[in-house]
């Protein structure tokens, strides 16, 4: 019986410890994306969640800066604008009538850096929609210390047309409970890179009491199983 009690404590401690340590990053994408509801990371119940669709003519959601780029419509005619399809009000295979973010050096790409001071905490989920450029396309995410969490790609998704077609548009994202400091998206050289629907959020951090209760719950399950075995 003493042995069983100690095993309950050990399982509870292990459960609490594992819930505090960050699980490995999970990468999501590339997946087709024509509208906000295609996002695999959006939802309710977050400490915060922001989606920048650029339709107000600016990158101005809180706590994020871009390494490079500008609003595509400031430089290019509507005939080549490649916004997320639904942003112009109609899913019709074209993003010409919306707004997006463009950088002329596709291979250098664009890095979006998050500010924990503004946001309250680093995001635990983040994503971007690649809407135009050349192959290969690579997405990378970084932890709070600036160390790479891994990449998606390089992948081949480009249709090699620059007239705003949306069937090639793809979501790239990452989940990481340890906090995401920045994300980078790059595409092929000899062309720019165009993106849209930057999105980032943080899952609520469980209260310590809830963490301990979850650990004790796991321990109780182990104890019951052990007890049945006796
Ligand atoms: Ca459209
Ligand atoms: Ca847009
Ligand atoms: Ca496109
Ligand atoms: Ca294209």
Average pLDDT across each block of 10 residues of the chain; the chain has 230 residues. List them in order: 46 46 90 98 91 98 98 95 97 98 98 98 98 98 98 98 97 97 97 98 72 54 52
Ligand 1 centroid to 15 CA: how many Å? 48
- Please name which ligand lies nearest the alpha carbon of 98: 2
CA of 64 to the centre of ligand 2 (A): 17
Provide the pLDDT for residue 16.
46
Res 18: pLDDT: 46
Q: Which CATH number fits domain 22-204: 2.60.120, 1.20.120, 2.30.29, 3.10.20?
A: 2.60.120
Contact 47, 201 (CB under 8 A): yes
Q: pTM of the predicted model, to two decimals? A: 0.82
Predicted pLDDT of residue 4: 44
Write the DSSP assignment of 117-172 as a string of letters: HHHSS--SEEEEEEEE--S-EEEEEEETTS-EEEEEEEE----S--S-B-TT-EEE
Nearest to residue 41, comparing CAs of 145, 154, 184, 197?
A: 197
| Ligand 2 centroid to residue 36 C-alpha, Å | 10
Determine the distance separating the centroid of ligand 2 and the alpha carbon of 123, expressed in angstroms.
21
CA distances from 218 to 3, 15, 92, 189 (A): 17, 7, 50, 51
Name the closest ligand to CA 161. Answer: 4
What ligand has the least distance to the C-alpha of 94? 1
- Name the residue among 17, 161, 8, 30 with its Cα closest to residue 93: 161
* Backbone dihedral angles phi then psi of residue 23, each to the nearest 5 degrees: -75, 160
Q: Residue 23 has what pLDDT?
A: 86
pLDDT at 44: 79
Q: How far is the CA of 84 from the centre of ligand 2 (A)?
A: 5
Ligand nearest to C-alpha 188: 4
- How much is the pLDDT for 141? 98
List C-alpha distances in Å: 24 to 106, 195, 229. Answer: 28, 26, 33
Q: What ligand has the least distance to the C-alpha of 95? A: 1
């Amino acid at each position: 019986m003493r042995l069983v009690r100690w095993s309950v404590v050990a399982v509870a401690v292990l459960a609490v410890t594992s819930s505090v340590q960050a699980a490995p990053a999970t990468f999501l994408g590339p997946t087709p994306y024509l509208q906000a509801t295609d996002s695999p990371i959006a939802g309710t119940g977050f400490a915060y969640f922001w989606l920048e669709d650029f339709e107000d003519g600016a990158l101005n959601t809180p706590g994020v800066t871009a390494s490079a780029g500008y609003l595509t419509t400031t430089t290019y005619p509507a005939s080549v604008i490649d916004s997320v399809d639904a942003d112009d009000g109609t899913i019709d295979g074209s993003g010409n009538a919306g707004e997006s973010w463009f950088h002329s050096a596709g291979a250098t790409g664009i890095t979006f850096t998050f500010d924990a001071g503004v946001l309250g905490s680093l995001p635990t989920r983040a994503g971007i929609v690649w809407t135009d450029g050349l192959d290969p396309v690579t997405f990378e995410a970084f932890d709070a210390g600036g160390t790479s969490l891994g990449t998606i790609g390089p992948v081949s998704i480009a249709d090699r047309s620059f007239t705003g077609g949306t069937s090639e548009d793809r979501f790239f994202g990452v989940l990481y409970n340890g906090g995401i400091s920045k994300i980078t998206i790059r595409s092929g050289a000899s062309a720019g890179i165009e993106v849209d629907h930057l999105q980032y959020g943080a899952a609520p951090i469980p209260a310590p009491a809830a963490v301990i209760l979850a650990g004790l719950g796991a321990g109780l399950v182990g104890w019951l199983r052990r007890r049945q075995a006796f």
